[in-house]
């Protein structure tokens, strides 16, 4: 607004000075002076020129304001577009990070459940041998002490077997990779056969032989799943996106 007023005042001064100079030069050249009619005509011309100048300045200012508004609108639209693109990129990166973290957490959880299964399987040789030996002694030399030892060894085996069953059930609920799941399922089937063998051993009648061979076969079948589970999980981790929190060659307990 101030610029518009300044332009108008400047134009008025220029036109006024030009009119005065023209009048002076006209009088100097002709030796005559303007009468009232001539001054009225000159005033009308002067007013017209001033009006034209004011209109021209107004149009110029209006055009400048329009161009400035359009430029600011374009700049604003471009900024908004850039901000939306940056926001979308940030959201995409955040979603990628979240997906990576969730996948990493899921794989870590699955790995830990398999580690619990492997650890529980590793307990079986000692508790199976302990219960088998205690049952054999109680049958060979019946006594209160041997019966108590048999019961104690059975409780120890039952607790260990319960941990193995719980670890297997957890793994079956958590694991979603098909090959790992199938390996866990097979391990569960062999562990269940071993569990039935040991339960039958504890209640075996004295006139029947201890099925050592069957127990040995079931135990070895169960133990074989240790290495198989470790290998299938390592293969799964190697085929998955790299995760600095899980090293397939340095897994805890493995």
Q: Is 243 left (phi over 0), alpha (psi -120 to 50) or beta?
A: beta
Which pLDDT score is estimated for 163?
93
**Hey, what are 185's tokens?**
């399922």
Degrees, nearest 5: CA angle 26-32-37: 90
Give dist(CA 203, CA 48) in Å, integer.
125
**Hey, what are 170's tokens?**
């957890």
> pTM above 0.85?
no
Give dist(CA 153, CA 109) in Å, integer.
32
Give dist(CA 168, CA 121) in Å, integer.
10
Work out the percent of the chain whose per-residue pLDDT is above 90: 26
**Hey, what are 198's tokens?**
């040991």
Q: pLDDT, tens digit, for every residue of 201-242?
A: 888 887 788 889 999 999 999 998 888 888 877 776 666 555
Give residues with Cβ within 8 angstroms of 62, minimum separation 6: none
Residue 208 vs residues 79, 139, 145, 146, 176: alpha-carbon distances, Å: 88, 10, 22, 18, 44
Fold of 110-239: 1.20.120
**Hey, what are 30's tokens?**
């002709």
For the chain, the distance separating the N- and C-terminal CA atoms, rounded to the nearest angstrom, is 81
What single DSSP character describes residue 162? H
Maximum mean pLDDT: which of 57-61, 210-214, 243-247: 210-214
SS3 call for 78: helix
Give dist(CA 254, CA 111) in Å, integer.
11
Work out the percent of the chain whose per-residue pLDDT is above 70: 67
Are the CB atoms for 152 and 239 separated by under 8 Å? no
90 by Cβ neighbours in 10 Å (0-12 / 13-18 / 19+) ranks as: exposed
Average pLDDT over residues 240-246: 49
Q: pLDDT, tens digit, for every residue of 113-139?
A: 888 898 899 999 999 999 999 999 988
Which pLDDT score is estimated for 251?
42
């Amino acid at each position: 607004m101030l610029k518009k007023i300044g332009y108008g005042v400047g134009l008025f001064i220029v036109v006024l000075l030009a009119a005065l100079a023209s009048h002076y030069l006209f009088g100097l050249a002709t030796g005559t002076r303007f009468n009232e009619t001539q001054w009225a005509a000159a005033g009308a011309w002067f007013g017209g020129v001033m009006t034209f100048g004011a209109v021209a300045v107004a149009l110029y200012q209006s055009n400048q304001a329009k161009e400035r508004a359009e430029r600011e609108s374009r700049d604003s639209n471009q900024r908004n577009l850039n901000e939306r693109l940056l926001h979308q990129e940030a959201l995409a990166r955040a979603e990628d990070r979240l997906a990576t973290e969730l996948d990493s957490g899921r794989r870590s959880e699955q790995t830990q459940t398999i580690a619990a299964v492997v650890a529980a399987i590793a307990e079986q040789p000692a508790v199976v041998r302990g219960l088998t030996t205690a049952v054999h002694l109680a049958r060979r030399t019946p006594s209160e002490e041997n019966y108590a030892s048999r019961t104690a060894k059975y409780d120890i085996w039952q607790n260990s077997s319960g941990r193995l069953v719980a670890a297997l059930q957890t793994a079956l609920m958590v694991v979603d990779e098909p090959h790992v799941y199938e390996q866990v399922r097979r391990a569960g089937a062999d562990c269940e056969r071993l569990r039935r063998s040991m339960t039958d051993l504890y209640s075996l009648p004295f006139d029947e032989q201890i099925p050592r061979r069957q127990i040995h076969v079931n135990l070895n079948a169960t133990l074989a799943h240790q290495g198989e589970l470790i290998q299938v999980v390592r293969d799964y981790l190697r085929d998955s996106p790299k995760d600095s929190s899980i090293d397939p060659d340095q897994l805890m307990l493995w």
